[in-house]
Amino acid sequence: MNTILLIAQIVLAVLLVLAVLMQTRSAGLGGVFGQETGGVFRTRRGLEKLLFQATIGLAVGFVALSLLIIRLR
């Protein structure tokens, strides 16, 4: 049982890292060359919103699984 939980935690960690890396950056290269990026308000739509919510879900799942593993030891 403990081995299954540890494998699930590793899978969640990898998925969480991938989800964070797939997020778009708001600054981009424009911030390097002096372009102001803070003046535009954007809302997340479509795939970007789904990825954002999935990242939050993966993070909550990872923390919950970590606490469960600690509790079972």
Q: What is the pLDDT of residues 8-60, one digit of tens each?
A: 999 999 999 999 999 877 555 555 556 555 556 678 788 899 999 999 999 99
For the chain, the domain total comes to 1
Domain that holds residue 4: 1-22+45-73
> Is residue 9 one of the residues assigned to a domain?
yes
pLDDT confidence of residue 44 = 79
pLDDT confidence of residue 31 = 53
pTM above threshold 0.85: no
> Is residue 70 one of the residues assigned to a domain?
yes
> Is residue 32 one of the residues assigned to a domain?
no
> Is residue 35 one of the residues assigned to a domain?
no
Contact 19, 51 (CB under 8 A): yes
Question: Quick one: tokens of 7?
Answer: 């494998």
The gap from C-alpha 35 to its chain's centroid, in whole angstroms, comes to: 27
pLDDT confidence of residue 72 = 93
